[in-house]
Structure 1
Amino acid sequence: MTAARVSPSRRRFSGAGRRVAPYVFIAPFVVLFLAFLVAPIVIAVVNSLFATRSSGLGFGGSETVFAGVDNYVVAFADSDFLTSFGRVLLFGIVQVPVMMMIAAGLALMFDSALVRGRRFFQFAVFLPYAVPGVIAALLWGFLYQPSVSPIVQGLRAIGLDADFLAPGTVLWSIANVATWSVTGINMIILFAALQTVPREMYEAARLDGAGELRIALGVKLPMIAPAILLTTLSSVIGTLQLFNEPQVMQTVTSNISSDYTPNMAIYAASTLAKNPNLASAMAVILGVATLIVSVIILRINNRATRTATDGLH
């Protein structure tokens, strides 16, 4: 009798608990998402609409006034800031495809049964990613300096005069540092995706007379297309946010200016020029540019996927 009376309330409590439980589990993510992603974006947008101006011909105190889009006008009128976008665009057009080809080639090689000592070489390729970006830039900065670099001295010994810090080559020296640092993690992601591909597909392709190269290009790579898209997209975003490598290497060469990349220009506006409102406007422009590039890449991938699907049908 008692059990019959308690049972309905327990059922109601259990039903309410099941309805509340999902929100309890996602609450930490929502709080962190709002605090560390949404709030900084809102603060940056709001700050970009204001400006700090001095009163009394510069002898009085400063006041913050609503400036509207004035900071954005100043940012777009800054030729050095716009040039930095073109510089990272050129950087990404060359560095990202080269890095992805190396990462995919290594992943396919490690997935092959012909490679011996696979784990050792995987660790060796992944190891540079464990080196902090600042340390990697310092290391390569030492290797680039003509007076102490064993690489430069070795090239000179065979009659080649190389200057890795010259105005025309320093961008590609930075690209080399970035490629050295991130190829390993992208290789691991692609290799892990390859492990999910059913081995029966390879056997079927071999029965049809396909060689290893054709299997790699015609079976393996199409099957891990989502992983390739993920790594490409993250690499493009990382390119637009390039900061550590040029900022550190700026200490060893005068050919890297304080606004060499968009992020460096934002940092310079905030610290050197002491204009956080202009820096916020630049950061918003960089964020919008990153979003646009990401959407373009996703649409290109979706169109390619639809074309391939239609071709199969």
Structure 2
Amino acid sequence: MAARERRRRQLIIPYLFLLPFLVLFLLFLVLPLGYALGISVFADRLVGGTVFVGAENYVRAFTDPAFLGGVRRLLVYGVFQVPIMLGFALVLALVLDSGVTWFRTLFRLGFFLPYAVPSVVAALIWGYLYGQDFGPFAQLAGYLGLPAPDFLSENWILPSIANIVTWEFTGYNMIILYAALQAVPGELRDAGAVDGAKGWQIALYIKIPLILPALFLTVVFSIIGTLQLFNEPQLLQPLAPGAIGQAFSPNLYAYSLAFTNQQYEYSAAISFALGAVVVVCSYVFMLVTNRGEARG
């Protein structure tokens, strides 16, 4: 009996430690998602009130020009923003790993510090810097007698937001890649150096191929973050009303539907439709990279 009681305790005690997390996970993630999924299959009618419509909201979402236009806009945005951001992160990680810099801890902290700044604060800071009437770039242009650059115009709004996101998340991705580089066996680097390989050759032919799984992970995270873009356009919208509309990004569109138009059911369907797009894009990327590794 004592042995049976001991085994029972060994089975129960881990779940007791997990219980606080499981309760919070259930209350603040599972239940809200279940509620949103539940209301997404209903719709408000002028006659009849709230009625069950099944998949009608989802069919409407995937044929909605506003939603599809937002997804297309973010895919275009991600095509140039993600490679630039991860390119910077990889270079910084390689520089730190090479040992050629002094005060590596200080540099690592400095590169990572922008990620510690909340995205809301970062968007407000860059909104001030971009300001055509009051920002430092506008003031400098005025001193030089030049027209103030309109970074928040329709033509420049995507690069401007991409710059903010790159500033925010380069350090985060650098830490992931730097940690992966620290796991590269020193013997391989030494063997490359003995064979006469230069520093850039060791990085290109030894280090980078060995950290490809970590690099692919940062790409997946970046794809997810790109399609979920919300804070930056939402906060810049008052400064650029002509460039950032209610459907600039799918998340901003869902927010506008819910809190401006009170279309909560359709907003929930838009959110789940966006989740499906995120899953498909991430899966396609992982499928392509896995096939590439298999061929290699």
TM-score scaled to structure 1, two decimals?
0.87
Distance 1:146 1:161 in 2: 6
- Find out whether 1:237 has 2:237 as its counterpart: no
92, 112, 115: which is aligned to 2:78? Answer: 92
Answer yes or no: is 1:76 the counterpart of 2:68: no
1:149 is aligned, of 126, 129, 135, to 135
Distance change >3 Å, CA 161–CA 146, structure 1 → 2: closer
Matches within 5 A, 1:258-277: 258-277=246-265
Name the Cα RMSD after superposition: 2.0
Q: How many residues align?
A: 294
* 304 and 24 in structure 1: CA distance in 2 versus 1, 3 angstrom threshold: farther
Give the match for residue 50 of structure 1.
42
Provide the secondary structure at the position in 1 that maps to 2:62: helix
SS at 1:164 equivalent = coil
Deviation digits for residues 259-289 of structure 1, max 9, x if unmatched? 1000000001101110100001101100100
Structure index of larger Rg = 1
How many Å apart are 1:99 and its aligned residue? Answer: 0.2
2:156 counterpart residue number: 169
Of 174, 182, 186, 1:187 maps to: 174
- Normalising by structure 2, report the TM-score: 0.92
Between the aligned partners of 1:35 and 1:225, the Cα distance in structure 2 is 37
Report whether the alignment pairs 1:294 with 2:282: yes
| Deviation larger for 11-20 or 232-241 | 11-20
SS in structure 2 at match of 1:51: strand
Match of 1:298, SS state, is helix
- The amino acid of 2:249's aligned partner reads T
Aligned residue in 2 for 1:257:
245
State the 1:239 CA deviation.
0.5
For each residue in 1:81-131, what CA deviation from the matched residue of structure 2 results, as whole angstroms up to 9, or x when unmatched? 210011100111111111000000000001112111222222221111111
CA deviation profile, 1:223-270 (whole Å, cap 9, x unmatched): 222221221111110110000000000011121111100000000110
For 1:38, the equivalent position in structure 2 comes to: 30
Q: Partners of 1:29 and 1:219 in 2: how far apart?
A: 41
CA 1:34–1:307 in 2, change beyond 3 Å: closer, same or farther? farther
Q: CA deviation at 1:305?
A: 2.2
- 1:137 matches 2:123: yes
Q: Equivalent pairs: percent with the same residue?
A: 42
**Structure 2 matches for 1:217-236, cutoff 5 A?**
217-236=204-223
The 1:179–1:12 alpha-carbon spacing in structure 2 relative to 1, beyond 3 Å, is: same
1:31 shift after superposition: 4.2
1: distance between equivalents of 2:200 and 2:217?
Answer: 24
What is the alpha-carbon distance in structure 1 between the residues aligned to residue 111 and residue 259 of structure 2?
Answer: 37
Determine the C-alpha separation between the residues in 2 that align with 1:96 and 1:76: 25
**Unpaired segments of 5 or more residues in structure 1?**
1-8, 56-61, 309-313
Unaligned runs of 5+ in 2: none
Any idea what SS the aligned residue of 2:294 has?
helix
Indicate whether 1:278 and 2:266 are aligned. yes
Residue identity in the other structure for 2:195: D
